[in-house]
Structure formats: C-alpha cells, structure tokens
Structure 1
Amino acid sequence: MVGMSAPYNAPSPYQTPEPKRRKPWTAIIGLLLSLIALVLLAIGGWQTYTSVTDLSGAERYTGSHTVSMEAGETQMVWASSSDVRCEASGPQGAVQDSSPGDFSVEVNGERLEQVLMVQATEAGDYTIACNGEFVLGDGISVGGSLLMLAGGALCCLGFVVMVIGLIIWLVRRNKR
C-alpha cells in the first residue's frame, strides 16, 4: 500500500502525562554531609590521637626542670595525680598558670591530669618545679578536638537529612 501512513494518535486532553522519575536529592545531600563529617572526624581524631600519644613517650621529671621557650610558646605540665602542685618561673620571675580548664587523658592505661600550663611571654629559660613526677608536652590538640566536634554535629545533621530525604523519595515513588 503506497501512500498510506500510520495513523496519528494524539494524546487525549484528559490523559495525564507519565510523571518524571525524580532523584532523591535530599537523601544524596544528607549522604554527602555525612561523608564530609566522617572526613572531619578522621582528621580531628588523628590529630588528637597523635598529640596524646606523644605524651606516652615523653620523659618523666621529678623536682624541677628547665626548658627553653620562645615567646608565645606554651608547655603543658601533666601528672598522674591532680594532687601534684607545680610552679613555673621565667626570665621575668613567677609565671601564672594559663590553663583554660582541667584536662585529663588516658595514655597506655595511665591517666594524666593537666596541672599547669606555662605560656612564655618572652624567649628564655623557664623552670618548672613540682612536688611529684610530671611530664611536659603539648597536650590535647585543640584544633583536632574542634574538628571532631564539628564532624560529630555535621554527621548528626547529615544523617537526619538523609533519612528525611529517603522518606520523601519513597513516599513520592509509591504514589505513582
């Protein structure tokens, strides 16, 4: 049959078009937030872990110890008991404790308490004297702790967004 074409079936004005398949963008964003959070937690955890494990290999002192410090440098004094009392003196005389608060860490099964934080106001020799055994170190990485805090909060947010996104996506998908 020459000259015949297939009949044209125009869509009915009463017929609704097939809905487009949508991607679960909210769930994907939640998953990405959770992955970023895991990276922050890993970096912060590593920084905190390395700063604390450095204390385990640090030399133990009794009585007094002199250390050379540059201006702005800090040294934390750690002891196995919070009963240990320490004092510090520098080129200008007595140095005040500049601890932001009480910290404690557990290193290889031993608990260490921060008893003093010495912040050098000028370069020179600083003498630290304690009535018990002590360790000098940098202590806990503040940046690492903040990264872990931010990562934990972001992980919670990402998980909630991901669950809500999955619920919305599944409800829309089942309505079709």
Structure 2
Amino acid sequence: MFSIGEHIIHPGQGVCTVMGYEDAPSPMIILEAKHGHAKTRMMYPVAQQDRLHTCISREVAERLLDDYDEIEVDPFTERNSSLEETYFKKQLKYGAPQTIRVAKTMRQRIRDAEAQDKKPSSYYTRVLKEAHRRALEELAVALECTEDDIEERLAQIDPSFN
C-alpha cells in the first residue's frame, strides 16, 4: 500500500498524490492529480494498485538530468504512424526515465523532419506535449521544486527542450 501524501505515477494521469483510502463499496485509493492550476480527485481500485508506482527519487532525478545527453532516442518505428503513437503513449505510463526519453525522441524526430523540409507527423507534437508535461511534473516532485525550475535546467542542457 502507498502512504498518504506519497506521490505516485498513475498510468493515465501522470503524477498523483495519495490522499487517502476508502473501503465502501470496494477498496479504493483516493488520488489527486494536478495539471496546471486545476486539481482532479479520483478513485483508483486497490485491486489494481500494481499499475501504480512511486515517483523517482531525488537521486534518480539528479542522475537523469546530469546524464541527459547520454539518454538515447528510441529507435522504434512502424509503417503505421498510429501504431507508433500507441507505442510511445504506452511508454509514458511508466513515468521517468521513459517520459524523458520519449520527449527527447519526439524532439529529435521533429528536428529531423524539419531539416529535410518536411512537415513533422502531427502525432510527434501530441506525444511530445504529453511527454514534456509528465517529465517536468515528475522531476519537479522528485527535486522538490517548480516545473519552471526544471524547464530552465533542461533548457540549459538541451536548448530544444522548450
């Protein structure tokens, strides 16, 4: 079981805070997700808690930032862009470091397409936006700072991060 106040990764929402537990009618975990200025409370079945996992530690977050240049882009390709998008969205469910890798991969693919005077696939932008949001959110929680602080730090490492 997770502790009240603990930050966890929800597969669909990203970082959530455990707010409590409820027993009736079936055991549920009360979670709160924060996106921008809005907060969303939700119930998650205790029976499915194996799909949730804790956020990365401060040490792991620092190591990811320090070793950002060594994070390799994901080479996965598929003839069908819908299948590619599904693959990358599935990676986001696991939190960091996958969110960071997916964001880096989408940025690289967008740059590659633009370098060839091609319009990047629209799914690159969609996946990048979600990967970027989730990466900032989890790193900010792990390092106990704001998402803006993380964005500034990443922009120093990789100017294309913005």
Output the TM-score relative to the length of structure 1. Answer: 0.28
> Is the radius of gyration larger for structure 1 or structure 2?
1
Q: Which structure dedicates a bigger proportion of its chain to helix?
A: 2
Higher strand residue share: 1
Tell me which of the two structures has the higher relative contact order, counting C-alpha pairs closer than 8 angstroms and 6 or more residues apart.
1
